[in-house]
Structures are given as structure tokens and as C-alpha cells.
A = this chain, B = another copy of it.
Amino acid sequence: MAPRWKGKAAEAKALSEPISAIVSRLQSSLIESDSHGLLSGCSVLLAAQPEQIELFNQACFGRPIITAEKDKQWFQLSLEEALYLCSVMKCIKVTGENKCVKNDDELWSYMTSKKVDFPYLFKAYCHLRVKNWVVRAGSQYGVDFVAYRHHPALVHSEYAVLVLSDEDECRNVRLKAWSDFHCTLRLCGSVAKTLLVLHITKKRDDGALASSCLEYYGVEERIVSRWNPEQSRENQTMVEKELC
């Protein structure tokens, strides 16, 4: 399925400003300002400096939240976004309630205690983000994430992403029944998205903590789509015609 740009101008704008460049600028700016996020339940709050507000919005990290403070714009980052900025991009630090900076091991422990399937979701999130996909929550489509080629203002999301793992009880109940497959594919079709199943496997389990153990998880990408016998017949006819 081709990307569905929101107009010609949107496509041109996206091509002139790749996400990778925007994320790089955000990364530099956050390192320069020595940004610290604050753990708060299942999210991390981070105060953006004026020049960072636009970069956060353009790179699609977190969502702006309204506070009484007039001179600061706070962003609420999901646990996946925060750990990605902290341990992969290495451009923010995260503190706990005691205002001490938490190291990667401590963050990993905290986040897995909040969300038992965090390692799988985080691995999937990183897998897509490092390829410069914009990754947002997918709950409105009944999936874990949706992936955009560029900013959601410029393009519709292309992939509805389900994260599965055989090892985790929370993650292995999806797509076990045909009716669930039918439901998911029908919904993906009706909103013009491709179903991308990221199957997370544990390559090694030596109790290693820290997000450095990300490398011990593998990712298998599977695109799931309906097989259209009519289309296949036509394709065959096309091939035959080309051969003639």
C-alpha cells in the first residue's frame, strides 16, 4: 500500500525535512540543555525549552500537557518514548521522586514493574523508531502502535502494529483465533493500514537487567494481509501477457 500523504504539499514538505534530521536536532537540543524527565506513574514528564517545543511536536515524542506554569511547556512521554530518548538516543536523564537520576537498570526495573510486557513493547518501539518511523499508540485501532512515515499531520499511518511474544501471557492471546484475525484485518483494511506483526523472541535469558539487554531480544517482522484469489489470477494473466 502506498503512503497516503495529506496532499502534494505535505509530501514535498516531508521529503524536504526527513524525520531523522528533526530527531537529530531534538537530540542535540536536549543534550545541550541537559534535560531531565520526571517519572510519574506510567509516564515521564519533561519540561521543554521554547526552542524544543516545536522539535518535540515535529518529531512526535510525547504530548503537550497544559499546566498553570506560563513559561514552561511540559510534555508527557510514554515509558517507551522516555526510555528511548534516555538509553538509545542518550539525550535526556530521568529522575525519580527523590530527584536522583535513575540509571538504565533502575529505569528498566521501574518500567517493567509498571507494565509487565514493557520489554516487548519497548523492543518493538525501538525497532521502528531507529528506522525513522514515527510511532504512536494504536489503541484506537485495537493494536499496540501505529507507524507513520512522517508526521501525522502530513501522512496517514501506514502500519497497524501488533507486538506478540510466545513467552509472555499478556502478549500471546492476540491472533490465536481466526475470528480475531478476521476482525483485525477487516479493521486494518477499513482504515487503509497494513497489519504489521512484530514477533519478539528472547534470544537469551540470563536475568540481565538494563535496556542494554535489548540486544537479547530478536524481532521478526510479519505483514499480514488477505489473499485475494481474484487479484492473483489477474496478476498471472498480466505476467502471461508480458511473456507473450
Contacts and interface: CB of A to CB of B under 8 A. Distances in A.
How many copies the complex holds: the figure is: 2
Majority secondary structure of chain A interface residues (helix, strand, loop or mixed): helix
Nearest to A162: B179
B174 A142 contact: no
A184 interface: yes
Interface in A114-139: 138-139
A142 B190 contact: no
Interface string A130-169: 0000000011111110000000000000000010000000
Interface residues of A, number: 24
Nearest to A138: B179
A142 B180 CA distance: 6
A142 B175 CA distance: 11
Interface of A: 138-144, 162, 170, 173-174, 176-187, 190
